[in-house]
Amino acid sequence: MQYSAQVALGELRSDFVPEPVPYAVITPQGDDRGPFPLCIVLHGGGGSRQSLVDCGKLFESWWSEGSLPPMVLASPSAGMSYYVEDAATFIRWDAFIAEVFLGHLRATCNIRGDRNSTVIMGMSMGGYGVLKIAFAYPERFAAVAAMEAVLEPGLHDGQITARNRLHHGAGGPARLIGPGRDGALFEANNPASRALRNAALIRESGLAIYIEAGDHDFINIHDGAEFLHRVLWDLDISHEYRLTRGADHVGPTLIPRMREAYVWLGSVLRALARPEVPEERVEGAAVSPSSQECVRLLRAQMEPVRKFAAASDATTNRRYGVLPVER
């Protein structure tokens, strides 16, 4: 089936940010008339709604080949805001995205209005934005995918060294990025801190989480990705984590990695749309029922062993083991 991308541009006012916010919406045009799932896309530093528009041909290709289910994609222009939530300056990007923008899209676009049909994805500064927003509002999104998110490896500003402040030179809100950083604001917006504060709700919501980075990133944000991975591991919060060997913050690996992230989001949406079918992970192909039955039988056989181990080790039934701090 062949799809094309229809682009619509708009502007949205709210009480949460001082200026009207331009935005772009891409709607698939093909035999499928919807309503469609929704993917909110947050651009990186220096980007805008045009960043989404420029990817239209990629989405057309992925929809047409079947690797990505048709979905509506929408992106606001946020400047170098870092999507900061800062009540002291009356700038509240979290609330704008998760409340105003999401509500506006549901009222005006050909989309399904339920949580299981709503995902959020971002790259670089946008990756930071989607993680902190999804961790604050896990009940509103089925999945979050963050590519090369600009994360810093610590919970407090004093833990961040010069190695992980390289991106500060590119600019951002003065109270969040740069020498005048407010430590409390950093902690309040930090995805790792939000995961710690909201761990129970994130686990209970079943929020699907995807974090990826390249291990040759020129601003060293892969350190932050690894840090967040370990925080989520210790919190026993299920997530998918990918560290791509030799990949940088820009360059030829970016589009293949982007495709993988969207295919992953599509697999989550497809599984939620057909809950009786196991999660689809490879190009939309489902795991066969016979394979799932084998897994069920193997797990059943191991259950007595697990119960025996749990009698002496309470961590046995966690998803992730409690690892030693020192090696």
The pLDDT value recorded for residue 186 is 98
Name the DSSP letter for residue 36: B
291: pLDDT confidence band, cut at 50, 70 and 90?
Answer: confident
Token pair, residue 179, equals 């020498």
The pLDDT value recorded for residue 327 is 54
Please state the length of the chain.
327
Alpha carbon distance 119, 137 (integer Å) = 12
Contacts of 199 (CB under 8 A, 6+ apart): 235, 237
Edge-to-edge strand order for the sheet containing 21-29? Answer: 4-12, 21-29, 72-76, 38-42, 118-123, 143-147, 208-214, 240-244
Q: Would you say 93 and 78 are in contact if contact means Cβ atoms under 8 Å apart?
A: yes
Query: What are 80-122's pLDDT values in tens digits?
Result: 999 999 999 999 999 999 999 999 999 999 999 999 999 999 9
Token pair, residue 193, equals 């801190």
Q: List every span in the chain annotated with CATH 3.40.50.1820.
A: 4-287
212-223 per-residue burial string, b: 16 or more CB within 10 A, e: under 16: bbbeebebbbbb
48: pLDDT confidence band, cut at 50, 70 and 90?
Answer: very high
Q: Which of 59-63, 104-108, 323-327 has the lowest mean pLDDT?
A: 323-327
279: pLDDT confidence band, cut at 50, 70 and 90?
Answer: very low
Residue with tokens 């002496």, as numbered in its chain:
312
The pLDDT value recorded for residue 290 is 80
Alpha carbon distance 241, 320 (integer Å) = 13
- Check whether 155 has a pLDDT greater than 90: yes
Query: What are 162-212's pLDDT values in tens digits?
Result: 999 999 999 999 999 999 999 999 999 999 999 999 999 999 999 999 999
The pLDDT value recorded for residue 282 is 45
The pLDDT value recorded for residue 256 is 98
The pLDDT value recorded for residue 324 is 86
The pLDDT value recorded for residue 134 is 98
pTM of the model: 0.93
- Check whether 285 has a pLDDT greater than 60: no
- CATH superfamily placement of domain 4-287: Alpha/Beta hydrolase fold, catalytic domain (3.40.50.1820)
First to last CA, the chain: 53
Query: What are 292-322's pLDDT values in tens digits?
Result: 889 899 999 999 999 999 999 999 999 999 9
Mean pLDDT of the chain: 95
Alpha carbon distance 178, 181 (integer Å) = 6
Alpha carbon distance 157, 168 (integer Å) = 13
Pure H helices in the chain: 49-53, 56-65, 93-95, 102-108, 125-136, 183-189, 191-197, 199-205, 221-234, 254-273, 289-310
Alpha carbon distance 155, 315 (integer Å) = 25
The pLDDT value recorded for residue 49 is 98
Q: Would you say 140 and 98 are in contact if contact means Cβ atoms under 8 Å apart?
A: yes
The three-point CA angle 277-279-281 to 5° equals 130
Query: What are 199-232's pLDDT values in tens digits?
Result: 999 999 999 999 999 999 999 999 999 999 999 9
Query: What are 118-139's pLDDT values in tens digits?
Result: 999 999 999 999 999 999 999 9
Strands 91-92 and 85-86: antiparallel
37: nearest Cα among 139, 97, 108, 116: 116
CA 221 to chain centre: 15
Token pair, residue 158, equals 């004093």
